[in-house]
A and B are shown apart, each in its own frame.
Chain A
Amino acid sequence: MHCNVRRREFLTISAASLGGLLSYSLDGKICRFAAEHKPIRIPLRFFSKTEALIVSAAVSRIFPSDDSGPGAREAGVAIYIDRQLAGPYGRDRYRYTQPPFENAPPEFGYQGQATPREIYRDGLKSLTGFHLLPPERQDTALHQIASTHFFALLRRHTIEGMFADPIHGGNAGMIGWQLIGFPGPRMNNSDDIDKHYGEGFRPKPAGLAEVTGSTIRPSEDE
């Protein structure tokens, strides 16, 4: 079953936020932002344009762009979430979804009936107009929903969108990996694993498609 509504909606973002943004430095610090800002349009698979703007604004308060470097907006986290929700994860393809659904203590995991798609659709209603608010009021709005399952998902997906391989639509330009000093799927560390004791060893990050030279089709593309 595919996402049944194929909207012709797009999220317009700055090209500078989709790679080519950062140059790499050994100490993991961000040393140069690209100068060009060219708008590009990314087709949305699940969100409406307004929903995408709200999600983009919300995740950039969770993982903000600040003096420690760029954040979730620049990494394209909203694009990542859009694709996940449109794909098998979003419709609970791999979850056990037989009834009855009962309220259970947290140590039994999420027992609800709502799929991630439904949780977002419903949760986003509580953030109407969010993208138009100033940052302080955005933070207040997020604090108000911080204990909800929707916010827990949004926060978890922000982490995923920051640090998953770029084939999934987030971590653009490997921003997330550069920020934390993770090189991605590196085939061989044999000569380095027992060296560099006490010093950061920071090979230049490369994504899976680059490392393998293959076209990788992520599962959300079905």
Chain B
Amino acid sequence: MKALPHVDVVIVGAGWTGLLTAKELGSRTSLSIVVLERGAAHSPTEYANGMDELEHSIHFRMMQDLSLETVTIRHSTNDRAYPVRQHGSFLPGTGVGGAGEHWSAVFPRFLPDAFELYSRTVEKYGAARLPEDHALRDWGVTYDALEPYYMRAENLLGISGKAGNIRGEKIAGGNIFEGWRSAEYPTPPTKVPYFSELFRQAVNSLGHHPYPVPAATTSTLYTNPDGITRPGCTYCGFCETFGCMIGAKSQPTNTLLPIINKRKNVSIRTGATVLRIVHDSSLNRGKSRGVTYVDSNGQEFFQPAELIFLASWTLNNTRLLLLSKIGEAYDPITGRGTVGRNLTHQVMLTAATAFFEKPLNRFMGSGATGIMFNDFDGDVFDHTNLPFLRGGAFRGVSARSLPIGECDVLPKSVKAMWGSEWKKAVLHYYDRTGRITFIGDHLAYKSNYLDLDPTYKDHWGDPLLRLTIDWRDNERKMAEFATQKAVEIAHAMGAKEINPGVPLTHYDASRYQSSHVQGGAIMGTSPDQSVVNPYLQHWQTPNLFILGASSFPQNAAANPTPTILAQALRTADAIVDRYLKNPTALV
């Protein structure tokens, strides 16, 4: 192994959090910073030349190469785990920009009470209402503390939307259930396609409160506070699973990289797969010394550094901690240990598929162009007489409408699977089909967790990460409730035929749900319950920071990126303002 010259900062992963940290520290300090990225760089023409559904949405050209590394999944500790051999329920990114290149760019904040989920729920409904196996936690940070950072993230990315609550004043046409905002969104809402307009009218007629989906696919030409200018979205429809051909969708490569590239103190090394965090640790005190990585030629390096950021895709953060033996691995039987606990995904489902008489022109749109409402989100509605806690948002977005993936979505009345009858249905329904999606809370449970797989290995011979995850009745009942509501909406939209959502039974590792996977290195206020403190600093190893959704104690029924970015900005501020002056525990 070759030892490289010492640097001040090493960042593992060049996705949203890694590059945001590189930009913040790189432009506000003179620290020498190296970003290690396992994937490749993206070239400017790649995205325009890549508007190809087969390569991107079917063969997942931008995602992690599973032949090198994947995860295994099982439903309970009594089951055997199977490797994810081809992409399924979530899509980890790779390459510079990470999953932030091919995301759908929906940009909602979490509800304020999501950050105090345990105490607010107990306060209102009593501890007896919590599910038996639950592992609910407060985050250790409040919405009020994060609000300025949400705003900074929204201004950085140029989010398009309509505020519903500015400093407590409720504004019609926005999300009146959202937490207070210090200001309006930086750009106006995106345009509304036909399907979303039908959705808005139906939702209105049912007495709910529709508003435009907050979108990082910017609606107009926008220059952010760093002086980065991006054009408005052209609604080309090649959005989620694609990089944006014109840079209207905010991505790390078009929003952060131009600033980083001007900084001589920051360098990005691609093809660098990090194997271990090197550390001197006892149980209570430790210090990271750097990381080891292998380059694309198979050569191993040791990169020493003073300050280390784990900013890889959420699950990989936990895997690196486990492989490096930093902290105590979580044991679901004894409840001891913290690394790997509180794995959550999200109740993301097509709650109703609506089939219309008239064509929808659904080829036009973006991942975040549409209408949503939150009347059944979080604790916005009373749960006293409901068989579940929390809820989620409903959306009518004309995303994911490309023909290979969508042409086979047909009404239940079509029985044929092939042949003339089926073909005619495919031709008729392709542009007459709309999805009402529901995105709901997934509570944390003691027996949903991460550890290392005893059987399967990656390309370099290290054990794969194993996910033990299944739904409980809270999620199943919530999905059932969401399906009833969505069917109601589809009727109000004038759908000729409706397929209700498929009931949640067991976690389906083969069906794409969302890439919103959380937990494993959770934040909290106590070292025996969490891996990082509220500044995402490792409790026992203060020169190690762990960024991203791995810190979320549980899922909170909305897309995680805004909260991920807000937290990373808060951490960057704490490091520049406090840690660099006194490199010790921030809490």
Contacts and interface: CB of A to CB of B under 8 A. Distances in A.
Interface of A: 61-64, 66, 68-69, 71, 89, 92-98, 100, 102, 104, 106-111, 139, 142, 146, 155, 158-160, 163-165, 167-168, 176-177, 179-183, 185-190, 192-194, 196-201, 208, 211-212, 214, 216, 218-219
Given A68-B424, A159-B408, A189 B431 contact: no
Interface in B171-192: 191-192
A107 B80 CA distance: 14
A97 B67 contact: yes
A43 B419 CA distance: 28
A109 B52 contact: no
Contacts of A68: 420, 423-424, 427
Contacts of B236: 185-189
Contact of A155 (B51, B83, B418, B456): B418
B85 A110 contact: yes
B417 interface: yes
State the 5 A-B residue pairs at the shortest beta-carbon distance, nearest first: A185-B51, A109-B510, A163-B403, A189-B364, A200-B359
B363 A61 contact: no
B62 to A, nearest CB: 12
Contact of B194 (A93, A188, A198): A198
B507 interface: yes
B399 to A, nearest CB: 12
Given A66-B420, A95-B67, A102 B191 contact: no
Contacts of A192: 361, 364
Contacts of B16: none
Contacts of B192: 193-194
B51 A208 contact: yes
A61 B419 CA distance: 6
A142 B508 contact: no
A191 to B, nearest CB: 9
Given A94-B67, A109-B86, A190-B235, A196 B59 contact: no
Contact of A165 (B52, B191, B456): B52
A96 B506 CA distance: 23
B509 A164 contact: no
Contact of B234 (A97, A139, A165, A190): A190
A160 B194 contact: no
- Residue of A63, A182, A183, A186 with highest tally of chain B CB at under 10 A: A182
A79 to B, nearest CB: 14
5 contacts: A159-B407, A167-B52, A199-B358, A201-B364, A214-B45
A71 B419 CA distance: 10
- Residue of B54, B234, B246, B455 with highest tally of chain A CB at under 10 A: B54
A192 B86 CA distance: 37
A177 B430 CA distance: 11
B586 interface: no
B426 interface: yes
A147 to B, nearest CB: 11
Contacts of B365: 189, 193
A93 B65 CA distance: 9
Interface in B155-210: 191-194, 197
A94 B508 contact: no
- Residue of A98, A183, A211, A219 with highest tally of chain B CB at under 10 A: A98
Interface in B213-260: 232-238, 245-246
B40 interface: no
Nearest to A152: B417
Contacts of B508: 107
B84 interface: yes
